[in-house]
């Protein structure tokens, strides 16, 4: 794909068209994933898939995303903004088309792989562009629009999917997304500018292979743990391979002069701190996303559409709050927002730890909406606060690392919280058993339902602990600027250049003698 324009300085770029085009791409990628989750049961019947096969459609998307995101730092330094975005969106469009016309499971799975290979690039690229386009004083507002896309797509996805699947074929879900993707590609061709500087690094195939097995193994292992258990071979073998290969991958990156993924971003204290907080929050956030639908549909008998409608107001409030939260971040910094947001998140998560078989539908809607208000004050501001400390040369590595760890946290959080729910539910069965006699089949069904509710409550209590840990860590967030680090790097490079020049002069003098 030929680039029509060379690198353009941020001061000369009309920022709104660039951000609009890229946020639109991120939005459809996230929307596509949330649409799929509700449609899986219908797709299982239509294509005669097993439950494991259906789950693999979600797992493969997550795996390809997780494998690609660490490599995006290399892509962003090797290829221009336009070329990379147009390639990513074209792959996503092709994958969406394949999924829409699929007549078998293998074809649908192939479509998901192609989709994910495009979607994995979008979020790190978008964040990198914002860091390149906006000064520190205005980044919060810009990052807020990313939050809008991240929250709004999951808000409307389940409800929209439920409505469509009830009346039309599941294929319509893909053909709704496809025209939006095509329009975005056309807009990107005319409006997108090359705003990221390139360093043209060499391809390191060993790093790519090591990264694939390291992150792929860990992600697959954690995703399997939630279904198969932590002691199954399907969990332990990928986790073991992933952990061992990760050691080799990190060691190689630290030895390379130009690494594929720069782990030295963690020497910047605020980036490290905010990344830890982001990981903890993501694990806590997944509690409601996983456990509430299980409680509503499996325990209380609500339909997927009713479950989606309960989550809709909170997600919408969170989405529309995101730009305002970003603007507040620019004015007051991340710490006040994080403390208030995590305080709200901790309290509301704790309220979910007291569910019964009669908890009111609208009470849950209110608590979930309040929880999402808290989360909207946390995610983007905290991530932006950490990235702000990095010098320009590390933007691509910082965004890739932050998104990689967020993806890992989602998988770990899902597996861990589902495991807590399952193991605690099994323990609580004995608490509800009658003191004498053997329970009837009907009594046993009630006992198992009550035990599952208690297991969900225990899982929410663990999520509350995560939120409290994040709250405590947020007291240490400070405002930072990357100027000193850049100057230090320039002095270091200048010193190395002078040293090299001096050595060349010595060599030349000896040659003349």
Q: What is the mean pLDDT of the chain?
A: 83
Q: What is the mean pLDDT of residues 295-312?
A: 82
Task: Report d(CA 113, CA 98) in Å as an integer.
Answer: 10
* pLDDT over 80 (residue 13): no
Q: Give the predicted TM-score (pTM) of the model.
A: 0.80
User: Residue 483 above 50 pLDDT?
Assistant: no
Of 1-10, 43-52, 214-223, 351-360, which one has max mean pLDDT? 351-360
Residue closest to 278 by CA, chosen among 334, 217, 220, 223 = 334
Residue 481 has φ and ψ, to the nearest 5°, of -130, 145
Q: Tokens at residue 16, please?
A: 């709104």
Please indicate whether the domains covering 8-200 and 268-506 agree at the CATH topology level: yes
Best mean pLDDT range from 27-41, 70-84, 299-313, 496-510:
70-84
Q: Where are the alpha helices (DSSP H) in 79-204?
A: 81-100, 105-133, 139-167, 171-191
pLDDT at 1 over 60: no
Tokens 């073998």: give the residue.
237
Per-residue pLDDT band for 509 (boundaries 50, 70, 90) equals low
Q: What is the DSSP letter of 5?
A: S
Whole-angstrom distance, CA of residue 303 vs CA of residue 471? 35
pLDDT score recorded for residue 476: 92
Tens digits of per-residue pLDDT, 419-448?
A: 888 888 888 888 888 777 677 778 888 888
**SS3 for 372?**
helix
Residue-level pLDDT at 110: 93
Percent helix, strand and coil across the chain, each to the nearest 5: 85, 0, 15
Instruction: Judge contact between 439 and 447, C-beta under 8 A.
Output: yes
Angle between helices 395-432 and 441-474 (to 10 degrees): 140
Instruction: For 375-415, write each residue's pLDDT tens digit.
Output: 888 888 888 888 888 888 888 888 888 888 888 888 788 77
Q: Is the pLDDT of residue 89 over 90?
A: yes
Residues 222 and 157: their CA atoms lie apart, in Å, by 25
Q: From the CB of residue 267, how many other CB atoms can be counted at a distance below 10 Å?
A: 10
Question: Residue 465 — very low, low, confident or very high, per pLDDT cuts 50/70/90?
Answer: very high
> Which three-class secondary structure string do you get for 50-95?
CHHHHHHHHHHHHHHHHHHHHHHHHHHHHCCHHHHHHHHHHHHHHH
Helix, strand or coil for residue 7? strand
Q: Which run of H or E residues covers position 407?
A: helix 395-432
CB–CB of 13/193 below 8 Å? yes
Q: Which residues pair with 194 in a beta bridge?
A: 7
pLDDT band of 507, cuts 50, 70, 90? low
What pLDDT shows up at residue 375?
87
Distances from the Cα of 408 to the Cα of 161, 208, 404, angstroms: 26, 18, 6
Q: Please give the pLDDT value at position 61.
A: 83
pLDDT of residue 484: 52
**d(C-alpha 434, C-alpha 444), whole Å:** 10
Mean pLDDT of 84-113: 92
Name the fold adopted by 268-506.
Growth Hormone; Chain: A; (1.20.1250)
Contacts of 391 (CB under 8 A, 6+ apart): 482, 485, 486, 489
| Domain residue extents for the chain | 8-200, 202-259, 268-506
Close Cβ partners of 311 (under 8 Å, ≥ 6 residues apart): 155, 158, 292, 293, 368
| Percent share of the chain, pLDDT over 90 | 26
CATH class entry, domain 8-200: mainly alpha
* Confidence category of residue 16, pLDDT binned at 50, 70, 90: confident
């Amino acid at each position: 794909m030929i680039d029509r324009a060379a690198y353009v300085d941020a001061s000369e770029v009309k920022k709104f068209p660039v951000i609009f085009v890229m946020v639109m791409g991120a939005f459809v990628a996230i929307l596509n994933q949330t649409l799929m989750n509700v449609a899986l049961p219908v797709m299982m019947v239509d294509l005669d898939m097993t439950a494991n096969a259906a789950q693999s459609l979600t797992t493969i998307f997550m795996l390809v995303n997780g494998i690609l995101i660490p490599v995006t730092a290399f892509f962003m330094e090797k290829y221009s903004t336009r070329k990379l975005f147009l390639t990513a969106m074209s792959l996503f469009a092709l994958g969406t088309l394949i999924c829409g016309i699929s007549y078998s499971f293998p074809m649908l799975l192939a479509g998901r792989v192609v989709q994910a290979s495009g979607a994995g690039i979008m979020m790190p690229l978008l964040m990198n562009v914002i860091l390149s386009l906006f000064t520190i004083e205005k980044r919060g507002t810009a990052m807020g629009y990313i939050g809008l896309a991240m929250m709004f797509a999951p808000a409307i996805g389940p409800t929209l999917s439920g409505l469509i699947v009830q009346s039309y074929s599941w294929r319509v879900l893909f053909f709704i997304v496809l025209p939006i993707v095509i329009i975005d590609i056309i807009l990107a061709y005319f409006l997108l500018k090359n705003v990221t500087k390139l360093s043209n690094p060499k391809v390191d195939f060993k790093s790519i292979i090591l990264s694939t097995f390291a992150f792929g193994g860990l992600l697959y292992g954690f995703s399997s743990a939630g279904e198969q258990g932590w002691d199954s071979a399907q969990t332990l073998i990928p986790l073991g391979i992933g952990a061992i290969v990760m050691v080799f991958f990190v060691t190689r990156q630290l030895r390379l002069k130009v690494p594929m993924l720069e782990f030295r971003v963690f020497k910047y204290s605020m980036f490290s701190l905010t990344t830890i907080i982001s990981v903890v929050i993501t694990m806590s956030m997944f509690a409601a996303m996983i456990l509430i639908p299980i409680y509503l549909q499996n325990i209380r008998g609500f339909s997927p559409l009713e479950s989606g409608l309960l989550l809709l107001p909170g997600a919408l409030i969170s989405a529309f709050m995101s730009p305002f939260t970003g603007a507040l971040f620019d004015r007051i910094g991340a710490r006040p927002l994080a403390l208030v947001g995590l305080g709200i998140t901790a309290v509301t998560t704790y309220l979910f730890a007291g569910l019964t078989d009669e908890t009111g539908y609208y009470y849950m809607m209110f608590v979930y909406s309040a929880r999402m208000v808290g989360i909207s004050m946390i995610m983007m501001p905290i991530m932006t606060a950490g990235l702000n400390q990095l010098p320009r040369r590390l933007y691509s590595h910082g965004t890739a690392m932050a998104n990689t760890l967020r993806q890992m946290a989602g998988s770990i959080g899902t597996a861990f919280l589902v495991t807590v729910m399952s193991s605690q539910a099994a323990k609580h069965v004995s608490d509800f058993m009658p003191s004498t006699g053997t329970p009837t089949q009907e009594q046993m069904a009630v006992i198992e339902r009550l035990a599952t509710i208690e297991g969900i409550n225990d899982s929410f209590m663990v999520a509350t602990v995560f939120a409290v840990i994040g709250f405590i860590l947020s007291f240490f967030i400070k405002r930072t600027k990357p100027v000193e680090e850049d100057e230090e790097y320039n002095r270091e490079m200048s010193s190395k250049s002078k040293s090299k020049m001096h050595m060349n002069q010595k060599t030349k003098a000896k040659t003349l003698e």
